[in-house]
Amino acid sequence: MHAVLDSVASPGQSTRLRAFLDERAPATPCLVVDLDVVRTNYHAMRAALPEATIFYAVKANPAPEVVAALAAEGSSFDVASTGEIDLCLAQGADPESLSYGNPIKKAADIAYAYRRGVRRYTFDSDGDLANLAEHAPGSRVWCRFLVDAPQSGTPFGKKFGCAPEMALRLLARAADLGLVVDGACFHVGSQHTDAAAWTSGIAEAGRIARGLAEAGVATRSLNLGGGFPASYRDAAPPLAVHAEAIRTAVAEHFDTAPELVVEPGRAIVATAGVIRAEVVLVSRKSDHDEHRWVYLDIGRYSGLAETENEYIAYRLRTAHPPTPDGPVIIAGPTCDGDDVIYQNTPYRLPTALRAGDHVDILDAGAYTASYSSVSFNGFPPLPTLFVG
Amino acid sequence: MHAVLDSVASPGQSTRLRAFLDERAPATPCLVVDLDVVRTNYHAMRAALPEATIFYAVKANPAPEVVAALAAEGSSFDVASTGEIDLCLAQGADPESLSYGNPIKKAADIAYAYRRGVRRYTFDSDGDLANLAEHAPGSRVWCRFLVDAPQSGTPFGKKFGCAPEMALRLLARAADLGLVVDGACFHVGSQHTDAAAWTSGIAEAGRIARGLAEAGVATRSLNLGGGFPASYRDAAPPLAVHAEAIRTAVAEHFDTAPELVVEPGRAIVATAGVIRAEVVLVSRKSDHDEHRWVYLDIGRYSGLAETENEYIAYRLRTAHPPTPDGPVIIAGPTCDGDDVIYQNTPYRLPTALRAGDHVDILDAGAYTASYSSVSFNGFPPLPTLFVG
């Protein structure tokens, strides 16, 4: 059974954000992001994998302030749509630093990206490859192949990537079509806590690179995708462990070291954000129930989308002493039965908790505000404030 | 195995919306709502249950045009938030026609609703009841109790309502606190296709009413909530079947017929809407796969939230002849592995289907546009167009 913990992975920024929230007392719910932590996390990733180029996965937190801060630090950007391309360019990113990493693209969107100067693309199908050859001639391309990654916190299933032997065929075809073959790409799945996950993907990528070399097609880089985890209620292994696993596998499976590319999102922004919510109601379903229901003014449709199936178990903090406490079910404010945050994951909150008290949701800088619904049940989207 | 069907429940409006889409060719994805169908559905509900007052559940489709059309027809409104109160009043609804049906309310929001003239509220806890007594004195109240409704398409779980014996205690307390006790309230769960579901709830409501009468507290109405189903790929029983089940159970379990209140949402707007989407990509994961992956420019984060766990299986229509066809997995456009629409529910689409073709998602007027994320992956929210 987990108790309510204060931040352990990032005690400094947590304290700073808490002070900001206590002093400013903004309307709830809100997300506060510390841009200094974003910068610190970016440089920690660079230090852990100095041989890799970092393409920040904009989808994790597309706030213009975050993108601008990372552009100023020299980051490159992994974008998923023309909207994200426009966003990055408006925040000062060089089009050369953008990679259009979504293998699902309309032909018109490829043409738009190319007009805006984007010259790196990921694909995983014949159809997208043909569109790239037509609308983004001469660009650099990665082909994404499928890996099994059952240990991912939020597994990708089979939506992205193709079979490795098909990736080999497609990359050879890409060369024939006049595209610049960068190499293979895979993604272990978001919030991946098992460093060994990289090994099989890198081994497969090595086989693809050798197959291409035998076909006379040179490759230059290996795109490892994202998936680097953040610590939530369960601590994740430090970046260094993942870096070492990657380094070892690359040395084993590649004759010539490829340039490395990583696409972290969560690992850059998760610990930079805290959501402050308010308790709307504390109730029991019968006069005999042990569990209290704690309803917050934020839920699955206003920012906590990653609590679907209770995938991400955030650390929570209240202004009360952690004990005495008791078991709770935590839910959002909408008239929607699915808007329950945690009912299977055991959570305990202080018995002193009352309506009107605040609850801080820690390490919530990734995959929160941008998931908010526009107006479900008449509740507005989650706003973001910035410090740093 | 289901084939691709054209609309059977609503062939007229489907044809009209299709003509509109084909002539105007709006940018995709978009939702088009036929306001005449909204009006027709409202009057069909009135005809099926003439003894009931209809409070349209605004959350199902909160487009101002829909609210205005229903207000003009004389509908009352079930609102879930202060945002929905403002919306309804701005569209001409009388504050007396509003019921604040969300049992999870901040004290400040109750006070706001009361200031704006709202005099009907639903609660299910001691805390909310105390706030109502303080901030909405003299208002009419329903207490929501928990029913088991395993046949619901999207079951509510236990998020709303309290144990029936607790509802009895709370309603007696409400009378002591100077509130006007309307009676009990329950909800069988959204998209409920088993008409027998009403029976046990009505029986329980009858016991609560008798218990209150014995305690000297008169009740006047029974709020049956929503849950009236729409026909999707699987046809739902007609309204008349539900109405008959309700009528029979009320006659059996109430000595004096209570006023009836219903809160339909889906049943009013689902068949009024069609989403037009575009095929972004058709691909296979290996050169030997039977299944094609069909990626649309709409997904779970831009309007198809009710395909979570594949709860709602929409009917799909393309411009191609339905056969020859083949099995497909259908997914959305984002870089998110969970943005898969149907992979366990067997769907077949024409083998002629290509990128750039459109796919119409039928009977999609409920619980779609308002669920859209603000900007996930840089994709804009689903726009709504109107005819009628």
Task: Check pLDDT > 80 for residue A4.
Answer: no
Decide if A54 is inside a domain: no
Decide if B37 is inside a domain: no
Residue B224 · residue B195 · CB < 8 Å = no
Supply B22's token pair. Answer: 């084909």
Q: pLDDT over 70 for what percent of chain B?
A: 94
Q: Is B166 on the interface with A (CB under 8 A)?
A: yes
Q: Is B150 on the interface with A (CB under 8 A)?
A: no
Q: Is A378 on the interface with B (CB under 8 A)?
A: yes
Task: Check pLDDT > 70 for residue B149.
Answer: no
Q: Is B64 on the interface with A (CB under 8 A)?
A: no
Half-sphere exposure at residue A239, Cβ-oriented, CA atoms within 13 angstroms: 19
Decide if A210 is inside a domain: yes
Query: Structurally, how many domains does chain A consist of?
Result: 2
Phi then psi dihedrals of residue A46, to 5 deg:
-60, -40
- Within this chain, do residues B274 and B256 fall inside the same structural domain, yes or no? no
Q: Which long-range contacts (CB under 8 A, 24 or more apart) does B137-140 make?
A: B137/B178, B137/B179, B138/B178, B138/B179, B138/B180, B139/B114, B139/B179, B139/B180, B140/B179, B140/B180, B140/B181, B140/B182
DSSP class of B194: -
CA distances from A10 to A13, A17, A267 (A): 6, 11, 13
- Within this chain, do residues A248 and A189 fall inside the same structural domain, yes or no? yes
CA distances from A33 to A37, A106, A242, A296, A361 (A): 8, 33, 25, 20, 12
Angle among Cα A9, A11, A15 to the nearest 5 degrees reads 145
Contacts of A338 in chain B (CB under 8 A): 154, 157, 308
Decide if B55 is inside a domain: no
CATH number of the domain encompassing residue B365: 2.40.37.10
Whether A283 and B333 lie within 8 Å, measured CB to CB: no
Decide if B218 is inside a domain: yes
So what's the pLDDT on residue A197? 85
Mean pLDDT within A276-298: 96
**Among A240, A264, A288, where does a domain finish?**
A264
- Within this chain, do residues A242 and A297 fall inside the same structural domain, yes or no? no
Whether B281 and A105 lie within 8 Å, measured CB to CB: yes
Q: pLDDT over 70 for what percent of chain A?
A: 94
pLDDT in tens, A372-381: 999 999 999 9
- Within this chain, do residues B211 and B158 fall inside the same structural domain, yes or no? yes
B-chain residue closest to A169, CA distance: B287
The region of weakest confidence among A75-84, A271-280, B184-193 is B184-193
So what's the pLDDT on residue A1? 34
Q: How confident is the model at residue B9 (pLDDT cuts 50, 70, 90)?
A: very low
**Among A212, A231, A264, where does a domain finish?**
A264
Task: Check pLDDT > 50 for residue A254.
Answer: yes
Q: Which long-range contacts (CB under 8 A, 24 or more apart) does B65-74 make?
A: B65/B33, B65/B35, B65/B384, B65/B386, B66/B33, B66/B35, B66/B38, B66/B269, B67/B91, B67/B93, B68/B92, B69/B35, B69/B38, B69/B39, B69/B388, B70/B38, B70/B39, B70/B42, B70/B268, B71/B97, B73/B39, B73/B42, B73/B43
Alpha-carbon distance of A102 to A105, in angstroms, equals: 7
So what's the pLDDT on residue B154? 53
- Within this chain, do residues B117 and B213 fall inside the same structural domain, yes or no? yes
Mean pLDDT within A304-308: 95
Residue B256 · residue B220 · CB < 8 Å = no
| Between residues A347 and B16, the one the model is more confident about | A347
Beta bridge partner(s), residue B30: B276
Supply A339's token pair. Answer: 């808007």
Mean pLDDT within A234-257: 95
A-chain residue closest to B357, CA distance: A106
- Within this chain, do residues B314 and B382 fall inside the same structural domain, yes or no? yes
Supply A129's token pair. Answer: 């490859």
- Within this chain, do residues A238 and A125 fall inside the same structural domain, yes or no? yes
The region of weakest confidence among A143-147, A221-225, B130-134, B154-158 is B154-158
Q: Is B350 on the interface with A (CB under 8 A)?
A: no
For an interface test with A, which of B118, B375, B382 has the most A Cβ atoms less than 10 Å from its Cβ?
A: B375
| Between residues A147 and A14, the one the model is more confident about | A147
Mean pLDDT within B2-22: 62
Q: pLDDT over 90 for what percent of chain B?
A: 90
So what's the pLDDT on residue A242? 94
pLDDT in tens, B318-356: 999 999 999 999 999 999 999 999 999 999 999 999 999
pLDDT in tens, A27-62: 999 999 999 999 999 999 999 999 999 999 999 999
Contacts of A356 in chain B (CB under 8 A): 106-107
So what's the pLDDT on residue A9? 42
Decide if B287 is inside a domain: yes
Catalytic-role residue among B30, B88, B143, B335: B335
Supply A383's token pair. Answer: 């706003």
Q: Is A373 on the interface with B (CB under 8 A)?
A: yes
> What average pLDDT does chain A have?
93
Catalytic residues of A: 335
Mean pLDDT within A121-148: 96
So what's the pLDDT on residue B7? 33
- Within this chain, do residues B276 and B176 fall inside the same structural domain, yes or no? no
Task: Check pLDDT > 50 for residue B8.
Answer: no
Q: How confident is the model at residue B6 (pLDDT cuts 50, 70, 90)?
A: very low
Whether B337 and A190 lie within 8 Å, measured CB to CB: yes
Alpha-carbon distance of B386 to B388, in angstroms, equals: 7
| Between residues B388 and A149, the one the model is more confident about | B388
Helix and strand tally (H, E) in chain A? Answer: 10, 18
Task: Check pLDDT > 60 for residue B252.
Answer: yes
pLDDT in tens, A183-217: 999 998 888 888 888 999 999 999 999 999 999 99
Alpha-carbon distance of B144 to A154, in angstroms, equals: 35
Contacts of A58 in chain B (CB under 8 A): 378
For tokens 């890198």, name the residue: A202
- Within this chain, do residues A123 and A236 fall inside the same structural domain, yes or no? yes
B-chain residue closest to A144, CA distance: B285
CATH number of the domain encompassing residue A112: 3.20.20.10
pLDDT in tens, A154-171: 555 789 999 999 999 999
CA distances from A355 to A17, A28, B51, B124, B131 (A): 22, 13, 38, 15, 11
Whether A101 and B335 lie within 8 Å, measured CB to CB: yes
Whether A334 and B59 lie within 8 Å, measured CB to CB: yes
For an interface test with B, which of A375, A379, A382, A384 has the most B Cβ atoms less than 10 Å from its Cβ?
A: A375
Task: Check pLDDT > 80 for residue B156.
Answer: no
DSSP, collapsed to helix, strand or coil, labels residue B358 as strand
Residues 102-131 of A with CB under 8 A from B: 102-107, 124-128, 131
> What domain range includes position A252?
62-264
- Within this chain, do residues B226 and B136 fall inside the same structural domain, yes or no? yes
Task: Check pLDDT > 50 for residue A321.
Answer: yes
- Within this chain, do residues A287 and A255 fall inside the same structural domain, yes or no? no
So what's the pLDDT on residue A3? 35
Q: Decide if B143 is catalytic.
A: no
- Within this chain, do residues A253 and A356 fall inside the same structural domain, yes or no? no
Decide if A51 is inside a domain: no
Whether A281 and B128 lie within 8 Å, measured CB to CB: yes
Alpha-carbon distance of A222 to A257, in angstroms, equals: 9
Residue B154 · residue B306 · CB < 8 Å = yes
Whether B337 and A156 lie within 8 Å, measured CB to CB: yes
Say which of B102, B158, B285 has its CB closest to residue A158.
B285
Say which of A87, A155, A378 has its CB closest to residue B80.
A378
Whether A127 and B282 lie within 8 Å, measured CB to CB: yes
**Among B213, B232, B264, where does a domain finish?**
B264
Task: Check pLDDT > 70 for residue B155.
Answer: no
Contacts of A55 in chain B (CB under 8 A): none
Decide if B130 is inside a domain: yes
B-chain residue closest to A332, CA distance: B104
Residue B286 · residue B293 · CB < 8 Å = no
Mean pLDDT within A364-385: 96
Task: Check pLDDT > 90 for residue B211.
Answer: yes
ipTM for this model: 0.94
| Between residues A107 and B190, the one the model is more confident about | A107
Angle among Cα A170, A176, A177 to the nearest 5 degrees reads 85
